[in-house]
């Protein structure tokens, strides 16, 4: 092997190692963002459960007004899906630590359905939908609280 070929070969290997490092840093960064979204998801789940179980605020006593609490069910489903996709991202981040092949690492990032980019998008979207549903519940609750003419039971 000539000196020029050796230099090109060494340069190519260095470039591949840099790419692997760069891709792993990207995966680690997405994983950190995903963990933050999972923390937010858990806080929203806990807060919404406390709203139902709590007694330090005004609650409706009318059966029809209590129907607004059914909005928590789809919110919990979407928040659960967000948490699930966040866990998938973290599993993939751990798995990529075992990969030495650049193409395998790129596939973990870029695959259309199971790549980290796609999973993070799904996690974010499900979290936003869950937050949207909780926001709708809050708006309904505030409207009920402001405009109700019926007796209000405060525990």
The per-residue pLDDT for 127 is: 97
Asked if 144 contacts 65 with a C-beta cutoff of 8 angstroms, the reply is yes
- Structural domain containing residue 7: 3-154
Q: Domain count for the chain, please give it.
A: 1
> Is residue 143 within a helix (H) or strand (E), and if so which, with residue range?
helix 116-147
What is the pTM assigned to this prediction? 0.79
**Does residue 155 register a pLDDT over 60?**
no
The per-residue pLDDT for 14 is: 59
- The model's confidence at residue 3, banded by pLDDT at 50, 70 and 90, is low
Tens-digit pLDDT profile for residues 96-141: 877 777 788 888 888 878 888 899 999 999 999 999 999 999 999 9
The per-residue pLDDT for 1 is: 54
The per-residue pLDDT for 153 is: 54
The per-residue pLDDT for 46 is: 93
**Does residue 150 register a pLDDT over 70?**
no
**Does residue 147 register a pLDDT over 90?**
no
Tens-digit pLDDT profile for residues 62-101: 788 889 999 999 999 999 999 999 999 988 888 887 777 7
């Amino acid at each position: 092997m000539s000196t020029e070929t050796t230099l090109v070969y060494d340069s190519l290997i260095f470039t591949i190692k840099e790419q692997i490092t760069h891709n792993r840093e990207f995966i680690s960064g997405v994983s950190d963002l995903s963990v933050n979204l999972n923390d937010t998801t858990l806080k929203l789940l806990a807060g919404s459960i406390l709203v139902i179980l709590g007694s330090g605020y005004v609650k409706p006593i009318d059966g029809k007004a209590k129907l607004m609490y059914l909005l928590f069910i789809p919110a919990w489903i979407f928040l659960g899906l967000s948490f699930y996709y966040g866990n998938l991202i973290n599993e993939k981040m751990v798995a990529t630590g075992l990969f030495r092949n650049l193409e395998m690492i790129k596939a973990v990032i870029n695959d259309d359905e199971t790549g980290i980019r796609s999973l993070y998008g799904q996690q974010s979207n499900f979290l936003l939908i869950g937050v949207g549903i909780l926001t709708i519940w809050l708006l309904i609750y505030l409207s009920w609280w402001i405009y109700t003419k019926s007796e209000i039971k405060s525990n």
